[in-house]
Structure 1
């Protein structure tokens, strides 16, 4: 029996029109800058000279008929013989957008829930890849299921990916039983590893709850032959608790109301939330993949623009 559609207000529950409309807001945003050195993606695989539409393949001995413009004078002088840089035509690159819709994401204190922010960021990333001329696919996962969409350069494919995000998002509820699988994030990364052997762009949109040593290992494996970006979604409460009032904490069918103005409640809760955020950020940085951080309290498009600028500046 299908569940009835919940009212999609764009903050607690996402809607398909909301995600599809991000196509227009994605214009002007790109994961790749004009020059390689100012790109936030610095993978170890083949260098992409995107301005020329060519990939550098190898340095080899000059052969009659080779384009003299490709002579590598430094290598030629060193070897005492003419060498040229060989290029092949650049192909489009498939992208996988991983979007977390576990129960841990069904929380928000300002503007929107983490689950909705993740859906928005995932859709925005998909549109950015599509507008760059590349194929888009993805994985959407909750606590019990992982759905995959094969990469294809098509608006219909992005619509299918967004529809899957909305479907998973609609299944979240405070009344859901406590059946969270702690290793589901790792399972999703393992699935991505099986799908993306090399030269993929992989964007992982999650709060990274439950991340551990296995997560670190999988991220490093993915980044070995792919460009990987970690997009961590967090709630502002993790940085600063309110000075007064009451905070409702929900975990499945269990609800607890906490008086945050009381020091014996406020301090340990604040320490726990901020400590967890820092621990995850530290783990992600150890994986050596670019880390982008998104607050549920701000517009995702503005944050994407700011984070792209920050990481591009750091890579120069």
Structure 2
């Protein structure tokens, strides 16, 4: 990377860091902590037995030494491992708002990373398109988070189609212990519901769907030429005709219903992020909904 390019990336890292930390401190600090379970229950201490305690929780070693009945107490093991899986296929470069889908994904990922950092959780990162492009194993610490943000900012979209199934199969091979998986994609690809269901049995998977309003509605602006970012296919449309705009909207609704079916079959929660709406509020609503489910 050239010196000027590196300087620009570092400048953007600082900007993202400021934005992300503000969102975490103002909105998300408590919600994240309540939204996700730890890996299980760990031993905390022993205390004297009182009537009504579960007999199976008696610590017989301590009881034998002291001559009085003691029971084990447990608490939830809080430490989490968070894995961010980011789709970098070229369709993510599309955007009709201030930020493209990819830019929005970068900021959302940064917010999630700093939220995890605030709770002393491990964070890892995976880039994928038609295959896994890069994988950085989960680690703790501020230095790790800043490195991951630099990697996000330096990554260019890949002109190829998305294969979420391959990415999830790779995750199953490299991440054996349970983790919270944020799968960030526009989900414009083949059916991945079976792979999602398998991954969700071991991990806690969340589908972060990235959307732009121009993917569901066409404005009346005359003739337009649309290019598929992943295949370079060109399509010319006359948006003056209501029938053309209606068919475009119907195709978008069909894609949405298909995605709903995939996630329902896999029993995976969805976090919808739109480029025309504040993502911090979407995150906050999602965390609060998860907390109510616990």
TM-score normalized by the length of structure 2: 0.78
Aligned to 1:29: 28
Structure 2 CA distance for partners of 1:31 and 1:233, relative to 1, 3 Å: farther
Equivalence for 1:251: 228
Which of 3, 14, 23 in structure 2 is aligned with 1:17? 14
Would you say 1:228 and 2:225 are equivalent positions?
no
Greater helix share, 1 or 2? 2
- Contact 2:31 2:284 (8 Å CA) reproduced: no
Cα-to-partner distance string for 1:33-89 (whole Å, 9 max, x where unaligned) = 66xxxx44469x62xxxxxxxx257xxxxxxx94126x6826449xxxx89455267
1:97 aligns with 2:77: no
Residue 62 of structure 1: aligned partner = none
Name the CA distance, whole Å, in 2 between partners of 1:88 and 1:229: 25
The 1:305/1:168 distance shift into structure 2, 3 A limit, reads same
Equivalent residue number for residue 47 of structure 2: 67
Superposed CA offset, 1:88-121 (max 9, x none): 6736222111111111212122332111111111
In structure 2, the CA distance between the partners of 1:227 and 1:102, relative to structure 1 (3 Å rule), is same
Q: What aligned pairs does 1:1-316 form with structure 2 within 5 A after superposition?
A: 5=5, 15-21=12-18, 22-27=20-25, 28-30=27-29, 39-41=34-36, 46=40, 55=41, 66-68=46-48, 73=52, 75-76=54-55, 84=71, 86-87=73-74, 90=77, 92-143=79-130, 145-169=132-156, 171=157, 180-183=160-163, 185-212=164-191, 215-252=192-229, 253-313=232-292, 315=293
CA distance in 2, matches of 1:160, 1:302: 26
Cα distance in structure 1, aligned partners of 2:199 and 2:30? 18
| SS across alignment from 1:156 | helix
Q: Distance in 2 between the 1:123 and 1:182 partners?
A: 22
Runs of 5+ in structure 2 lacking a partner? 57-68
| CA-based RMSD | 3.6
> Is contact 1:25–1:301 with CA below 8 Å preserved after alignment?
yes
Distance 1:159 1:247, change over 3 A: farther
CA contact (8 A) 1:146 1:188 kept: no
Distance 1:20 1:143, change over 3 A: farther
Structure 1: tracts of 5 or more residues without a match: 47-54, 58-64
Alignment coverage as a number of residue pairs: 277
- The separation in 2 between residues aligned to 1:290 and 1:41, in whole angstroms, is 12
Give the conservation status (yes or no) of the 8 Å contact 2:205–2:268.
yes
Query: CA 1:164/1:33 → structure 2, altered by over 3 Å: closer, same or farther?
Result: closer
CA contact (8 A) 1:229 1:292 kept: yes
TM-score when normalising by structure 1: 0.73
Aligned to 1:199, the other structure's residue is in SS state coil
Q: 1:296 to 1:31 in 2, by over 3 A?
A: farther
Tell whether the 8 Å contact from 1:94 to 1:201 is kept in structure 2 after alignment: yes
Decide whether the 8 Å contact of 2:271 with 2:282 is kept in 1.
Answer: no
Alpha-carbon separation, structure 2, partners of 1:143 and 1:102: 8
